[in-house]
Amino acid sequence: MTALATDPTVRPRPVRMWRTVLRLHRAALIGWAVLVAAVSGVLLWAYGPGGNAARADWQRRCTGDTCSWSDAISLYHAAYTGAELVIGWVPYLVAAWAGAVLARELERGTARLAWTQGVSPTRWLATTLAVPAALVTAGSTVMVLLHRLLFDAHQVPVSWHWWNDETFVPNGTLGIAHPLLGLAVGTLAGLLQRRALTAIGLSIVLMGLAVTTLGFARPHLWPWATSTGGGYETPPNVLYGDGGAVTSTGAHIADPMCRDSTACLKAHDVTGFYSEYHPAAHFWPLQLVETGIALAVTALVLATAFTLLRRRTA
């Protein structure tokens, strides 16, 4: 056994970077697991006993045009909206964490220490990102699936609209793509700032800019459905876009605001009106197109981060 231990031909085991990352960020891992478990528990409660109690009270108390919310209905609604709020903030938390971690390791010199132990800067950054990316994806997937389960059940007819930002994101693949974008944004911010506090601030600002920009672009990522008629009629449960007047040639123009004036309508050649909207059937096309854009931006930000790291360590 001694000969084997001192044999120069025996190669040492390669460093398992992913284990090192898990040990270094054990507290963050535990916090993430607690957050996912808490949100999942709330959503499961709302889907099960909380939803059953709320539905029973709704059927008993909300008849006709009158309705008074009970504690069960209020708790059910609060559980749903609270879970959405937390899921919506996950990308910002991930971005802030990634920015702080990268900046702190660069500031303290622990990154350079790892590079002297046979770990290249590129491999160090790739492993530093791969482990949290896998854990964030797994946890986000669980929360999105449970949110979708509760939304589809819709045990109490309160105002949950598929197009609302707070519902649209956690109800599909965007709820998984946004945290990954946050991880990429935080990484780039950490490399740029090299100070934990300023990296956190920059991460949150950049993530807010990205989410806001995607939100503004969302309605235009898929062709609008159009309805025409004597007014601005649209089906129920739709995201309304724009509207206006229709001329005898079929052209769409701004509403001349003639009201019931026949002379005014004739003068502007108005024969009807149109409305543009997204029906519920457009949820997945909009969701998937925006997810693709978010993932493309994520890849671009990560490529920028790796390029910056290679130039600084050349």
Tokens 């797994």 map to which residue? 138
pLDDT at 64 (0 to 100): 67
**79 Cβ partners below 8 Å, 6+ apart?**
42, 43, 45, 46, 50
CB 272 within 8 A of CB 230: yes
Q: What is the CA radius of gyration of the chain?
A: 26
pLDDT at 12 (0 to 100): 45
The sign of the torsion formed by the CA atoms of 68, 70, 75, 76 equals negative
pLDDT at 234 (0 to 100): 80
pLDDT tens, position by position, for the chain (314 residues)? Answer: 444 444 555 444 444 555 666 666 778 889 999 999 999 999 999 999 999 999 988 888 877 667 778 888 889 999 999 999 999 999 999 999 999 988 888 877 776 776 767 678 888 888 888 888 999 999 999 999 999 999 998 888 777 789 998 999 999 999 999 999 999 999 999 999 878 899 999 999 999 999 999 999 999 999 999 888 877 778 888 998 888 888 888 888 888 888 778 888 888 888 888 889 999 999 999 999 999 999 999 999 999 999 998 888 87
CB 255 within 8 A of CB 243: yes
